[in-house]
Structure 1
Amino acid sequence: MAARMLGRMHPNLYALGAIAMWASLATLGVSLTHVPPFLLTGIALIIGSVPAWPFVLRDPRQWRIPLRTLALGVYGLFAYHFLLFIALRHAPAVEANLVNYLWPLFIVVLAPVVLPGVRLRWAHIAAALLGFAGAALAITSGRGLSGTLAWGYLPALGAAFIWATYSLGTKRVAAFPTTAIGLFGLVSGLLSLLCHVLLEPAATLQGRDWLLLALLGLGPLGAAFFLWDKALKLGDARQIGILSYATPLASTALLVLTSGRPFSLSIVMATLLIMAAAVLGMRAR
């Protein structure tokens, strides 16, 4: 019954489910700032792959995918996080995050390049730009940017490009079961742990850390990827890209709620811009 209900869900609902989980990433990350980032990502990605294991044990063919498909998955999950962490270490965090959130715009404008039979209309472009304006307002909270030039912006731009092309690329490779996302996460998690051993100091984790890592892995670095894959397989990549601008807005709003701070005018304005982008994008045919 549950499987049939999921099968009838609109593709955009899968995307919104992933976005809702990614909204908790910053809040959970704030509680785990003492954990080295590659260690955090490695453990969380491996935990995120666990829900796929029972399906693979029942039918090992679920993970028998072409090497090209596995390479695409590792490119998306591992290379994206690798470049993002490099960017956050070598550029101001707010500005680097803003550059990173060019990925929804890249999904929209690259869709006709990567996917056959897909064309852009003016409404898609206008919606993507409106969404980016809303995301920028949410991320910066209405403050001015530092204007500092840093080479770390390049890996942030690379991370945005990688996530967009990975997302679109899943529609170009041979069809694969969504459970294969678990294999992407497992391999990417092991590579992240290798980066931790080579690049980061050793760290000791407490019981609370493991609980938060489990939440991180089962949510934004686990189930969210499965939902995202389902959305892209069934939906319109242009519309999904526009909807994705809700991620930084929801993330900022959740941080405001958990910190007890009042909502600012910039959050309200960002909400209106992203809602307008979503409506415009949905109406584009």
Structure 2
Amino acid sequence: MVKNHKMKDHGRDQGMTYLDRMAAMAEKQPENRIAAEAARLRAAAAACSIPDRCGPDIAPSPARGGFVLARQVELLPVGSDKVEAVHRGYGGRSAIRAADVFDAMLAAAARAKRPAPLTPGQIAIGRRYGHLVELLAADGTKLSSLEASFGSGAGRDWMDLRMEYTAELERMRLRLGDEPAMVLRRIRPSQRGRVLAPGERAPYIFTRRELIDGICLKGYSIKQVLALFSWQDNGRNAKAALEALSGALDAMIGYRSQKTS
């Protein structure tokens, strides 16, 4: 690039123009900042692009975060004793929904060619738990749109629905209890922890409620939950925490001794 000394001298007297500033930065750093910014924008646009099967009505948005495709499937009878899954999306298109920690678990298992770590029923109750907590925490704003979202065609009152959701959430938490996860208690204290830094707390047994809140509400992975309670991140502890999560979700469903996994 040929330096424009005349423009730079003029800029010292009357203020450097935008192009002068770009030229000065390019002299200090050889990389082309405009090209780098264009590449960053292209990468952001590619990361939030919507698959063609969803159609053009869903606008791409970098702030949306990760998402997964959601097909609207309806089971229709075929003959006398069979059913067929039929895609009922508008115009034959798929929808999207925000990805959560359970999607991440399933994706990680699929990449490693391992079976799914949780059953569909366990995942459904975990998502229901998070949805109820979020719903009950947000509706206290008493906004008209939120109040309308609680309404129904049956003419049910907003407070009736709130009491119903609160009772459902309390039933889940009563089934969980406040006792430590039994699977984790079987691991010796010497095998739970890691070398502690100054001021770091020693690992301790966390309850099923703490495990469920970390996974379903905060979106933590198993590794992050172990780190949160100062447990060593190894295969034994991760397997025990996943087994404890499976048992906790089964308890929320209502299973006692038997489990769905």
TM-score between both structures, scaled by the size of structure 2: 0.23
- Select the structure of larger CA radius of gyration: 2
- Larger RCO: Structure 1 or Structure 2 (Cα < 8 Å, ≥ 6 residues apart)? 1
